[in-house]
Every structure is written in structure tokens, then in C-alpha cells.
Amino acid sequence: MTHEGRNAVVTGGGRGIGRAIATVLAAKGAAVAVWDLNETDAEETVALIREAGGKAIAVIGDAADTATVRQSAAQTRAELGPVTILVNNAGITKYSVFLDLTEENWDRIIRVNLKGPFLVTQALMPDMLEAGWGRIINISSSSAQTGGPAVTHYAASKGGVIGFTKALALEFIDKGITVNNVPPGTVDTPLMREGFDPEQIAPHMPMKRVGQPEDIAYAVAYLASEEAGYVTGQTLSVNGGRYFF
């Protein structure tokens, strides 16, 4: 399985799951544009890829802002060329019990987690249509499948990502473009550590461990491959047995 000759965008590629996805795609031959709001994080990911012999660029900006997305797409095309692999990974959360959930917090989560993938996908879809080939992988969440306390806004946004995936897959199903989503389970990332200690969670997981970012990255690499050309509109749950549907 190779991604040689493909240009990929990974949003939120500066750390955690996004960094793992970017480095795995690069290791398999893709040239990767690491889109991230944090310049230091993005440059660190790019440095890791280049040190391993891969090709990558850092593209800094807000993936949920229309003007910035257009600028980022233009920069990526200018430096790498047309994009045919897109991983909508950028996402945020802020835990809040429902009755304390503010409208501002709700809007912020929906803006980044759901509006962001819409804007980025719409900006890059013309490249895939022109090529007659494309792979879009959206990172959703097992919280959208199971629910959970203090994550109503987050689960709603990621549930929207799953619906977005299915509808988009059908709209472009005869264009050589596949659209799938990966809902991670409990994965050891900086974002997760803001709310939980992985060591305390691990004994309660079906596999008695939390996931690692690379667990998600290899699933994404498959969905981004030529070999996954007959897979579209699917939810590939990578969650260590937390949820089976």
C-alpha cells in the first residue's frame, strides 16, 4: 500500500492523532500539508517528516474560517500541487455538563468540529474532481456513537460529521472520490489528557489499554489508499472494542 504521487492535507496535524496521521501518510509516500492553528506544533510535525525522508509543509491558520481556508488551499496548491487526500482531523472539546453549557461554547464546538470540515472539503473538492480520484477521511468520535456525560455539544458535532460523511459519499460516489470516517475511541493524546488520565482509564477499557495515535493513523492510511477504492460512506470504528456498530 503506497501513497506515492499523492498530495495530502491533514487538518490539526500539529499534534496527537493529526501528527500520527501526517507522519504515517508521509512514510507511505504522500507529500503532506500539515494544517494547524499552532505554528510551533505544525513545524515540529513537518520536521519529523523531513527527518524521516518525507516531504511536508506547514500551513498555519484556522481551518474553520472561510478566508483562511481559501488562503491555505492556495498555499498548498502552490507549494505541493493539487490535493487528492484530505483528512479532516482538526477538532476541539471543552467538557461541560448540559445545564452549564453556554451558547458560546456550543457554537465554538460546532464551528470547529463541523463547519471546519465543510469549509475545507468544499475548498479542496475541485482538485479531486479534476483528478477523477480522491480520498476524504473525516475524524469523528466514538462519543457520537455512545454518547457520554458532559459532552453533549461535542457528541452532537461529531454526530454531524458522521452524517456529513454519509451524505457526501453518496453525492460523489460516481466521481472516483470516496468519503469515510474514523471515530476514535479513547486515545492517548494531549487533547484527551486535558480531561482524563490514560493510566486510570486503561483498566476499564475492553482491551485494558487506551489507543495510541498510530492506531488511528493506520486506519486512515488504508482508507486513503487505492486499495480502499470500493469503500465509501463507511464508519471504521477504531476503539478497542468500545462500540461495535
- Position 195 scores a pLDDT of 66
d(CA 52, CA 57): 14
Set 154, 218, 222, 230: catalytic member: 154
* 154 carries an active-site annotation: yes
50 phi, psi to nearest 5 deg: -65, -35
Percent helix / strand / coil, the chain, rounded to 5 = 50, 15, 35
Beta carbons of 211 and 185 less than 8 angstroms apart: yes
d(CA 59, CA 9): 9
222-238 pLDDT, tens digit per residue, is 999 999 999 999 999 99
Q: What is the DSSP secondary structure assignment for residue 80, as one 8-state letter?
A: T
Domains and CATH numbers, the chain: 7-228 (3.40.50.720)
**What residue ranges of the chain have pLDDT lower than 50?**
none
